[in-house]
Structure 1
Amino acid sequence: MDSAANAPHLSRTRPAAIALWLQIIAAMVIAMVVIGGITRLTESGLSITQWQPITGVIPPLTHAQWEHEFALYQATPQYRNLAGPAGMDLAGFRFIFFWEWSHRLLGRLIGLVFALPLVWFWARNAIPKGYKPRLLALLALGGLQGVFGWYMVRSGLHGDRIAVSHFWLSIHLLTALFTLGGLVWTALDLRRLARIARTRPARWTRAATLAAPILAIQLMLGAWVAGLNAGHASDSWPLMQDRFVPQFNDSQGLFHAMTHDPFLIHFEHRWWAWAVVVALVWFARRVRPLDRAASVAIHIALGTQILLGISVILLDVPLWLAAAHQLVGALVVVAFTWGAHVLGRRPG
């Protein structure tokens, strides 16, 4: 009797469709990460000095509007101390404005692509039992990401800063990548539910707990490198300044240097990468007996990322290569999430 009564409800749930929707959003988040990286590398992040979630969708359309936006940017420390002395004109401003505007526009689109289908799935009772809180949490993370993004921008609009805080930049990036992992994990749970009725969600395992912080530290260091333009600290590998450990400013103590000095942070990022290699190769070996494809994906993404990182250094941070490095970093997170999900799968 109970089974018959529940059958109509079960038939209305759409785990496969929701999984596909989440995968589309995950792809959009990856694009957002790449455009965010380009925005930082082109020093574009401070070109829009106001947070206007609704009206900011429309860019300047007239010459007068462009002049107004340029005047707002000219009041920033970045323009006074960097872009202005370098001779930036309105055409140059329009270039950096494009990247920041595109980054914010994509963020708004992601919000809509998440929120509107969520309402539809909810109204149609298409969301399987237990997944509504998780989907709401992912939506909230997206909103929080926007708030963190504005705090990041605001950090570069005052005082004598010529760039955003690298700490806020890392918070902004790590929140995006955590959201990406949550999207991928939930999509994998739902894809499995679509194949195996009543299967339980995967659990987080001890192996994932050991490997994830090592990867997260490297992602944070990468954000610090970008925020401090520390990629330009050296164009040689494996040595820096013909030394293993470069010269750095420790006048305010070693901890301050480890978190603020571009040369030392560059050093940390390039060598912590090998801790990530050890951790993820070990992790992938645990995944391999259960899902060879996931293990191979981790190895390919990790190996590609290492080669890109070295190439970025040797070629002095060309924009296209640095953007590719950002892209593959996000794919490493996707591959790791896939592997962690494989390890955490439970019988139905």
Structure 2
Amino acid sequence: MLVDGFGRKVDYLRVSVTERCNFRCQYCMPEKPFSWVPKEELLSYEDLFEFIKVGIDEGIKKVRITGGEPLLREGLENFIQMIASYKEDIDLALTTNGFLLDQAAQKLKDAGLKRINVSLDSLKDEVAAKIAQKNVLKKVLKGIEAADKVGLKIKINCVPMKGINDDELVDILNFCKEKGYPVRYIEYMENSHAKDTAKGLTSEEIQEIIKKSYNFKKQERTGPSPSQDYKLDDGYVFGIIEPHKDDFCATCNRIRLTASGVLIPCLYFEDAQSIKEAIQAKDIKKAAAILKDVLANKPEKNKWSTEDNSETSTRAFYETGG
């Protein structure tokens, strides 16, 4: 069992397989040039898998593949199959922008993927293009449809932005409710890589918008999910992820690994250690020791919850998958 310095059980590993992305979203990496990270700087799928096996053997029950955009890395279905074959009951999920999903959904399902989170920030072509700086909506919707057709469980993520998509929150909720997909609205997480003018909505502002169309009740938190859930009168549940609060930190069960082998104990904090050298040297004991040390230094709370909220993270979310 993996336990951090505050006695929290850690059983969820998020693995980024690439920092590359085919979108340039305003809240993430709008100014980053389209570039290739040299292959030698990344861990191979085999090396990533060696570390994942260490985690699973120590008690990891859920693995989520992230990016950047993970579907940009060739052979992803083979990597997923490695993990699924090692432990059949592992909760294996993927987060994607959905642009390449229509071509990949069946291969991912056949490889053992169980669940998928898709970013959907707008249902309007021009707004989606403004956010992603690319004409994306039709391809994303086609990808969601393909994933649904092959039987992947789907969850939708949406980042509400002031003056951009804040008038669509109910439309997106209605779309997800009709399709039977849970939706989670994610408060914009201030970071130095985002567009200077990017402004998000708070949880309270999101709720006020939805209240104009629906009655809902706040649900009690259960388990380690960072989402605060709300139930409509008809039973549909939507969630809001509120990084500017820290109530979910008390049950945090997550740790993150980047494509270059950096093990990150908390999304906000810069403290991290690399397992790259140990894994590539096949020194599994050293990699396991680094994992334990990183967990021992996992912080109690994130820093977005500070009272003045004045600090902006330098974390590159395209490296960690959020």
Q: Give TM-score scaled by structure 2 length.
A: 0.28
Higher-strand-fraction structure = 2
Higher-helix-fraction structure = 1
Larger radius of gyration: 1
Q: Give TM-score scaled by structure 1 length.
A: 0.27
